[in-house]
Amino acid sequence: MTLTQSSFADLGTHLSDVTFCVLDLETTGGSPADCEITEIGALLFQGGEPAGTFQTLVNPGAPIPAFITILTGITQAMVIEAPPIDEALPAFLEFLGSAVIVGHNVRFDISFLNAAAERLDYPRLTNPWADTLKLAQRLCRNEIRNLKLHTLAAHFRSPTKPTHRAFDDAAATAHVFWALLERAGTIGVTHLDDLLALRSARGAPNYQKIKLTDKLPRSPGVYLFKDRLDNVIYVGKAKNLRSRVRSYFYGDERRTIHTLLRELDGLDFRVCETELEAEITELRLIAAHKPRHNRRSKPPRTQQWVKLTPERFPRLSIARVQKNDGGLYLGPFRSKRAADLVLTGIWDASPIRRCRGGAGKRRARCAFAQMGVALCPCDGELTEGEYSEVVARVRSGIEHDPTLLLEPLAGRMAAHAREQRFEEAGWLRDRYQALARAIERRRAWTALQQAGTLWAENPDGEGALIEQGRLVAAWQAGGQAPLLEPSPVVDDRAPAQTPWSVAEADEAQLVWRWLLRPGVRVIDSTGPLALPRHPVPELGRLDAA
């Protein structure tokens, strides 16, 4: 018989709409490499109701071992007139269609079917599969002495007893499967993706908490894990909230996940219109709650800027606060180490002063000036005119033409490599990359500030309303534009050269990356959205040039 099966590309299909094929094979041995199929039995179910059966002996084309005959009762005489596998397999594959395969230790059966398919030039089976052995391990292993099919069939009072004949064993497996599905429903397994994930669950002591996910929708959004004091301990984003949160219970062996689940006592979520909204909402919630398990993306306690000071002979310094004081800023950085990497990179690329004393306060030049790595006014001999050229080059390198600072770094790195001073070349590479990244982020921030309020859409019709680097509203194709909750990290001060905080910088960077995705177009804006004429060169391209 021929049935038209539905596609399972969307694994969010409810189990009541899934077509299952429960099957069992008998074979001449345990290895598909040198053994053959002797019998195929299968039952098809649609919407939980019987929809067809398949049963046939198969001529293996080889003697059946005596112990197999004793085990199954299938003799050589019984298979002499049976169809060979090259006739039986096509008929079975047509019967199977795209149904979800179900069996007891089903990978054994699938391995024999795939081996036969390959010998006959058919593609390997790609059907999703569910294993009653794996499900029983998850759902009832503590109730019975073992998980053999005949033990499970007796436990669940199957009307058909397993007999080591394919159809009887498939019928008994079907009864066990429905009983296990009923149990699985009590822990929230209602859709196909839930069922397929359940087989990998490890039986962790916190697995019962999966019931907290029952009300999660299959929508993009953000989820919040809470402890027993209702404190938010972790925030994450997902394209499918239900599938992502339930995946924490399916075999993740990381110690951090075990700790997270042990502390989990409550669950909250926010449904988002688009993936960009989910990413931004995640950042804002992390900034607002500072969850202890969001170690990587949690805003730092302190933040740093590299500052070109607004004094008579400007120098570079590390600042913890950005001010509208006439200085030039790069940042913010998550750590002083990250800021030092950029500061040292500029020092390597420019002879800007490194000493801190006032001009003419020393009788002799400082050590940096004596080594020739910096022009310093400490002995009073350096004029403002001579030094202004150095400062102008640094300013231009940050604001207009990054090659002014990056080319010297690349040249020194190449020279060290030629001299086989690879460790020093590696240091310069790290400084180059850090400086290039800092300049790129600053330019993107400046471009977003100049653009003001802009409206953009991606090729799928998902839209975003962005105001000076902050996402104000997001909507799906053809939808409305609901306003987002205001960001808890927005500073009320006037726009600055760089963001006022790391959280604000991270949000602007997410927005900028979204705008640069292929096919995203700006529909309208209150100001021009443009970058300086000179791009920030990648290290490899600069070397090639």
- The closest of 221, 222, 218 to 191, measured between CA atoms, is 218
In angstroms, rounded to a whole number, what is the distance separating the alpha carbons of residues 90 and 116? 10
Type and span of the H or E element at 423: helix 422-451
Backbone torsion region of residue 370, taken as left when φ is above 0, otherwise alpha when ψ lies between -120 and 50, otherwise beta: alpha
Contact yes or no for 318/259 (Cβ under 8 A): no
Contact yes or no for 74/38 (Cβ under 8 A): yes
Which residue carries 């995946």 as its tokens?
247
Active-site hit among 164, 258, 293, 534:
164
C-alpha torsion 239→241→245→247, nearest 10: -50
Instruction: Point out which residues pair with 59 in neighbouring strands.
Output: 84
Instruction: Point out which residues pair with 304 in neighbouring strands.
Output: 333
CA distances from 190 to 137, 186, 310, 431 (A): 19, 9, 65, 52
Angle among Cα 346, 352, 358 to the nearest 5 degrees reads 135
Q: What is the DSSP string of 190-241?
A: -BHHHHHHHTT----TTGGGGGGGTT--SSSEEEEEE-TT--EEEEEEESSH
**Cβ contacts of residue 276 below 8 Å, gap of 6+?**
462, 464, 471, 474, 510, 511, 514
Contact yes or no for 429/494 (Cβ under 8 A): no
In angstroms, rounded to a whole number, what is the distance separating the alpha carbons of residues 144 and 136? 10
In angstroms, rounded to a whole number, what is the distance separating the alpha carbons of residues 312 and 456? 44
CA distances from 205 to 194, 215, 245, 258, 259 (A): 19, 22, 17, 9, 11
- Classified as helix, coil or strand, 448 is helix
**Cβ contacts of residue 461 below 8 Å, gap of 6+?**
476, 477, 478
State phi, psi for 483 to the nearest 5 degrees: -75, 145
- Classified as helix, coil or strand, 525 is strand
164 is catalytic: yes
Type and span of the H or E element at 524: strand 521-525
State phi, psi for 448 to the nearest 5 degrees: -70, -35
Q: Which residues are catalytic?
A: 164
